Chain A
């Protein structure tokens, strides 16, 4: 499941285990440097490059995972 893999990446890069799929990236303490790390992790681990503007438009694990899914179909 893409959602689980995205959630794992978020929890690791935000250094928080209590993140849920509907949490807003910025509300749980995300900022630009962490976003770049997540962008990098998506490339390395999911083999997909997500534009940062898309990450802003999809600021939850659930929505960015759905966006990544949509790229595969």
Chain B
């Protein structure tokens, strides 16, 4: 549907489109709840709304109703939109941090800056230690840190579950040893 082509709000097509938008909105809310950075908590609703609008805009340009395309396509567009939005907020935040604006206060409320800095330091150490792991352990631990389950990692890397589990376990042991050498206890 396009803007110049109004649709009867009570029509079945419109209802299906509305239902699709609502479903996508709820899915994005859950995704943002689980995966967006802590400092963006206050902007979660904005993020979801902006991402849904971007998906709708893509569909409008395409001249197709949102209910006419496969869900897998919509979710991919939503992913791209969400990533763009988070990056836009991050840039805005950096400017605000430089200028000492309100966002600084918001980020302070969300998390102690000292704790944040120490977390990032640990993050850099993890990144460095990861680069020293044997390649397969590194892949297994990377996906573990990314929140992938053993079955998900097995599927992505084409490994058996038991093997994946072993590689994650051994990789984490190596990672902890490396972190201790750097003075960081996990």
Bound together? no
B residues with a Cβ closer than 8 A to A are: none
